[in-house]
Amino acid sequence: MAKVVAVCISKEKGTPKYEVPEVKVVKNHGVEGDAHAGDWHRQVSLLGTESVDKLRHVLPDIPYGAFAENILTTGLILYKLPVGTKLKVGETLLEVTQIGKECHLSCAIRKQVGD
């Protein structure tokens, strides 16, 4: 069964997200208090621990939020979900609008592990 492992926010763009005890998701906005929330197609970012674990051999102490995810899950292969899939997370209904995102050139993790 899929479950949420962590929820993360960042107060300012360009700063790492950090784990918080809980988040509130606002309809047509995203995670309340997160710098990346807004009226656009990627309001909430999800990432599976299965994806993070692929880099644990290079970055064993990588913290939750390091990939700019708002919600970290386990037991659900997110990258295999088709766009349009609806997910119920707690009391919130989310819709998958994009699979994956490009790491920008100045990304700290990209610099550590390479392309």
Contact 15, 9 (CB under 8 A): no
CATH, residue 83: 2.40.33.20
Contact 103, 51 (CB under 8 A): no
Residue 108 has pLDDT above 70, yes or no: no
Residue 48's domain spans which residues? 3-113
Split into its structural domains, the chain has a count of: 1
DSSP for 62-78, please give it.
PPTTTT--SEEEES--G
The reported pLDDT for the residue numbered 5 is: 96
Interval 18-75: pLDDT, tens: 999 999 999 999 999 999 999 988 899 999 998 888 888 888 888 999 888 999 999 9
Q: How far is CA 21 from the centre of its chain?
A: 15
List residues bridging with 87 in a β-sheet: 94
SS3 18: strand
Interval 71-104: pLDDT, tens: 999 999 999 999 999 999 999 999 999 997 666 5
The reported pLDDT for the residue numbered 95 is: 95
Residues 6+ apart with CB under 8 A from 58: 112, 113
Residue 109 has pLDDT above 70, yes or no: no
